Amino acid sequence: MFGAAALLRYGSSANRTIASVIGGGFDLTKTGTNTLTLTGANTYTGTTTVLAGTLSSTIGNSSSGASGLGAATNPIVVASGATLELAATALRTTIMGNISGTGSINQTLVASLGTHIGGDNSGFAGTYTRTAASTNTLFTSATSGSAAAAWVFDGPSSPSYVAARYGTTADSWVTGFTSGTTNTINFGALSATANCNLGNHTTIASQTANTTYIIGALNTSTTIAGVIADTVIGSTAFTSSTFGITKVGTGTLNCSAANTFTGLMRAAAGTLAHTGTFATTALEVEFHDNGSSTSTTGLLTLGASPTLTAKTINVTRTALSAGATAKAIVTWTGTAVGVPVLKWAGGIQVSGVPFADGARTVTMTFTAGSGVTVTTT
Structural domain that includes position 306: 281-377
Task: Measure Cα distances from 321 to 293, 357, 360 in Å.
Answer: 11, 11, 7
Per the domain annotation, does 161 fall within a domain?
no
Let me know: does 95 contact 105? Beta carbons within 8 Å.
no
Per the domain annotation, does 201 fall within a domain?
no
Let me know: does 46 contact 38? Beta carbons within 8 Å.
no
**Confidence category of residue 1, pLDDT binned at 50, 70, 90:** very low
Burial of 6 by CB count in 10 Å (0-12 exposed, 13-18 middle, 19+ buried)? Answer: exposed
The dihedral over CA atoms of 268, 269, 270, 276, expressed in degrees to the nearest 10, equals 0
**Confidence category of residue 5, pLDDT binned at 50, 70, 90:** very low
Per the domain annotation, does 192 fall within a domain?
no
Per the domain annotation, does 370 fall within a domain?
yes
Rounded Cα–Cα distance for residues 134 and 160 (Å):
8
Residues constituting the chain = 377
Rounded Cα–Cα distance for residues 328 and 220 (Å):
21
* Mean pLDDT across 137-165: 93
Rounded Cα–Cα distance for residues 339 and 169 (Å):
45
Where is the domain boundary, 45, 60, 91?
91
Where is the domain boundary, 91, 106, 124?
91
Where is the domain boundary, 35, 69, 91?
91
How do residues 310-324 score in pLDDT, each as one tens digit? 999 999 987 776 666
Per the domain annotation, does 150 fall within a domain?
no
Per the domain annotation, does 374 fall within a domain?
yes
Per the domain annotation, does 8 fall within a domain?
yes
H-state helical runs in the chain: none
Let me know: does 141 contact 116? Beta carbons within 8 Å.
no
**Confidence category of residue 45, pLDDT binned at 50, 70, 90:** very high
Per the domain annotation, does 144 fall within a domain?
no
Q: Find all residues with CB under 8 Å of 33, minimum gap 6, and list them.
A: 13, 52, 53
**Confidence category of residue 188, pLDDT binned at 50, 70, 90:** very high
pLDDT for residue 323: 61
Question: Is the previous residue joined to 159 through a cis bond, with omega within 30 degrees of 0?
Answer: yes
Rounded Cα–Cα distance for residues 188 and 195 (Å):
21
Looking at the structure of the chain, the number of domains it has is: 2
Neighbour count for residue 83 (Cβ, 10 Å): 21
pLDDT for residue 158: 67
